[in-house]
Amino acid sequence: MNIGEKIKRLRKKNGLTQEELADRCELTKGFISQIERDLTSPSIATLVDILESLGTNLQEFFNEDSEEKVVFTAEDVFENENEDLNYILKWIIPNAQKNSMEPILMELGPGGRTKEDHPHEGEEFGYVISGTVFLHLGRDKYRVKRGESFYYKANSNHYLENTGKSVARIIWVSTPPSF
């Protein structure tokens, strides 16, 4: 862990200059600068004073838990293609199965369909970005086209089907995760 860099990040997050932090801790601006550049190390007592001035404590400061990721990019996507059923399943949030809900991007090719899912706890939501799909829910069949959404309790067999001639793209969210 780079203590100086982390102190600098906390100081900036709190909107303080080096001089303002130094004043709060009864230190010099030069000493704060040296700490932030890892040219010197503060005593434990001084570190406690600095951290209190920054609104934290030793335990929180040295906790190595990584910050929760909020924004995800194309590099984070994991993709699985099923050629037999003609679909591509993209997990757009990595490791979402550990969360309460699991969003995916489903691309159903012409004539494609998803695997039939059996009844399970939870609910599912989908938004059709492009194309048209049929939602099979138990014995019922619903047509869902671009710009429309679906939402249901997953207490019966269900799957999506694309009977059209173009790829259908759907954002699909399951809670709890089931994809």
Looking at the fold, whether 80 and 122 belong to one and the same domain comes out as yes
Looking at the fold, whether 49 and 99 belong to one and the same domain comes out as no
Looking at the fold, whether 55 and 86 belong to one and the same domain comes out as no
User: Is residue 108 a contact partner of residue 168, using CB atoms and an 8 Å limit?
Assistant: yes
Give the domain CATH number at 27. Answer: 1.10.260.40
Looking at the fold, whether 82 and 53 belong to one and the same domain comes out as no
116 assigned to some structural domain: yes
User: Is residue 6 a contact partner of residue 35, using CB atoms and an 8 Å limit?
Assistant: no
Looking at the fold, whether 56 and 81 belong to one and the same domain comes out as no
Q: Per DSSP, which regions of 67-139 are E strands?
A: 78-82, 87-91, 102-108, 123-130, 132-137
Looking at the fold, whether 56 and 79 belong to one and the same domain comes out as no
User: What residue numbers bound the domain in which 45 lies?
Assistant: 3-62
122 assigned to some structural domain: yes
Give the domain CATH number at 124. Answer: 2.60.120.10
Task: Give dist(CA 40, CA 32) in Å, integer.
Answer: 9
pLDDT at 115: 94
Looking at the fold, whether 98 and 160 belong to one and the same domain comes out as yes
Beta bridge partners of 58: none
Long-range pairs of 148-152 with CB within 8 A, sequence gap ≥ 24: 149/125, 150/124, 150/125, 150/126, 151/123, 151/124, 151/125, 151/126, 152/123, 152/124
Say how many domains are in the chain.
2
Q: What string of pLDDT tens digits covers the 179 residues of the chain?
A: 789 999 999 999 888 999 999 999 999 999 999 999 999 999 999 999 999 999 899 988 888 665 667 898 998 898 899 999 999 999 998 777 677 888 999 999 999 999 999 999 999 999 999 999 999 999 999 999 999 999 999 999 999 999 999 999 999 999 887 77
81 assigned to some structural domain: yes
pLDDT at 46: 95
Looking at the fold, whether 24 and 98 belong to one and the same domain comes out as no
Task: Give dist(CA 129, CA 54) in Å, integer.
Answer: 45
67 assigned to some structural domain: no
68 assigned to some structural domain: no
pLDDT at 66: 56
